[in-house]
Amino acid sequence: MAIRAVDKPPTDVSELTPEDAERLIFFERIFFELDDDGNGFITSEEVASLLAFTALDMSAAERKAVIRQNDIECFDGKLSRKEFLSLCVNVMWGMTVDQL
């Protein structure tokens, strides 16, 4: 198996390590905790709050921009599970599950 940097997600699912899979499951679990009404979306405000806590080096403007970049399905200010997972992979992939 090829060695890859932890800060870059694999491009092929077959390259996922057990820690990668754990990280993806963790991101998904966060989504379902934030989607407390079960409507399948979380607001950009909820995501911004999460990023303020987890991505400490991001400014408010950077958080807003990254949320907007990942709101690609409806451009409605809400993120679906798929959009949220994409954001997490793009922003928080390099963090260990313990850090998260």
Q: What is the pLDDT of residues 7-56, one digit of tens each?
A: 667 777 777 888 888 899 999 999 999 999 999 999 999 999 999 988 88
CB of 78 within 8 A of CB of 71? yes
Per cent of the chain over pLDDT 90 is: 59
Separation CA 13–CA 3 (nearest Å): 15
Cα distance between residue 24 and residue 27, in whole Å: 5
Q: Is the pLDDT of residue 4 over 60?
A: no
**What span, in angstroms and rounded, lies between the C-alpha atoms of 17 and 2?**
11
At 68 the pLDDT is: 95
- pTM of this prediction? 0.83
